[in-house]
Amino acid sequence: PGELRRRDRAVTATDFQELALATPGAQVGRAECLTLFHPPTKSSPRAGVVSVAVWPKEDPKHPNAPLPSRDLLRDVCSWLDKRRLVTTELYVIPPVYRKVAVSVGLQVKPGYGAGAVRQWVELVLRQYLAPLPPYGPSGTGWPLGRRVHGPELEAAALQVEGVEFLEGLNVAGLNAETGEWVPGTVNLNAWEVPELAEISVVQPALAATLTVM
């Protein structure tokens, strides 16, 4: 249906996204179209500009923040360029990440291995914040511009079997200018997704016991 609708032409945001994913020979794992977004200036909306952010299907060097190669960007750009309107100013760009850190304190239900439950919670949070399908809140990767909010992550962590309750979940975002972690909800720009740079999952009571011993 999509091919019949667009007739191999990129006009709407959906057209650009679907065509980018269908680039022949390219291993595109995700594509997002940002209309009116001008990457060089990140300025106010500019008429006639279409930017397409592209993720590779995998990036072993940067598993938490996959980045496309120059060849991948060039292939997608060439494919889309032949199908855009003459009046469209096209940019094919890598994703922009904002580093975030998460720390979790939890209590494990009796009869469950504390180590295994902590590992599962960490895995669930890593997948929940991941940029590539089939992960993310809806299975399509973390949405562009969606804030990283502690209570939302708490709800994800509580779904892990064996978690009795959380004693706290803290989120912080890295200030790129100062290099300092800023605690609290991380508000992202419309062209950003989070990169989970640090995560810590502990059982406070157990940690206190080990310290005393």
How confident is the model over 126-143, as pLDDT tens digits? 999 999 999 999 999 999
| Amino acid type, 164 | E
The predicted structure's pLDDT at residue 11: 87
**Residue-by-residue pLDDT tens, the chain, 213 positions:** 555 454 578 889 999 999 999 999 999 999 999 999 999 888 667 889 999 999 999 999 999 999 999 999 999 999 999 999 989 999 999 999 999 999 999 999 999 999 999 999 999 999 999 999 999 999 999 999 999 999 999 999 999 999 999 999 999 999 988 999 999 999 999 999 999 999 999 987 554 433 333
Whole-angstrom CA distances from 130 to 96, 126, 211 are: 13, 6, 34
Q: What order of strands is seen across the sheet that includes strand 181-183? A: 181-183, 163-174, 96-108, 192-202
What is the per-residue pLDDT for 4?
A: 45
Pairing of strands 192-202, 28-35: unpaired
pLDDT of residue 89: 94
What does the pLDDT read at residue 205?
Answer: 55
Q: What is the model's pLDDT at position 211?
A: 38
Buried b (16+ CB within 10 A) or exposed e, 157-180: beebebbeebeebebbbbeeeeee
**What does the radius of gyration of the chain's CA atoms come to, in whole angstroms?**
20
Q: How far apart are CA 148 and CA 188, in angstroms?
A: 8
**CA nearest neighbour of 172 among 104, 99, 101:** 101
pLDDT for 3 equals 52
